[in-house]
Amino acid sequence: DQQVKQNSPSLSVQEGRISILNCDYTNSMFDYFLWYKKYPAEGPTFLISISSIKDKNEDGRFTVFLNKSAKHLSLHIVPSQPGDSAVYFCAASYNFNKFYFGSGTKLNVKP
């Protein structure tokens, strides 16, 4: 039973435009969410996080939005750059124990 879902396996965006990656979760107890980025042959690296007490967190070109009532979060990348091309994973946890990851979305930013 997958508690964190990323329904889009891939996304293609033109350089300079906005990339929007989506993530849904089923467990209403989750109170902390993260996004990770993964390049081939490397481990995932942390991008940005958000606590359930917030609905938005911004860090440079990256913004994460959380809609608790819809159990949905999204990652916005503006403007998108070719170096952003990677697989993006969302993750969720309850009380900072045991992180559940989605299946990932492969982002391709075209020059």
Partner 1 sequence: GAGVSQSPSNKVTEKGKDVELRCDPISGHTALYWYRQSLGQGLEFLIYFQGNSAPDKSGLPSDRFSAERTGGSVSTLTIQRTQQEDSAVYLCASSLQTGPNEKLFFGSGTQLSVL
| Minimum separation from the CB atom of position 43 to partner 1 (A) | 3
- Asked if 75 interacts with partner 1 (CB under 8 A), we say no
Contact 101, 87 (CB under 8 A): no
Judged by beta carbon, residue 12 or residue 45, the one nearer partner 1 is 45
Question: Which residues between 39 and 58 bind partner 1 (CB under 8 A)?
Answer: 41-46, 49, 51
| Minimum separation from the CB atom of position 19 to partner 1 (A) | 19
- Asked if 104 interacts with partner 1 (CB under 8 A), we say yes
DSSP 74-96: EEEESS--GGG-EEEEEEEEETT
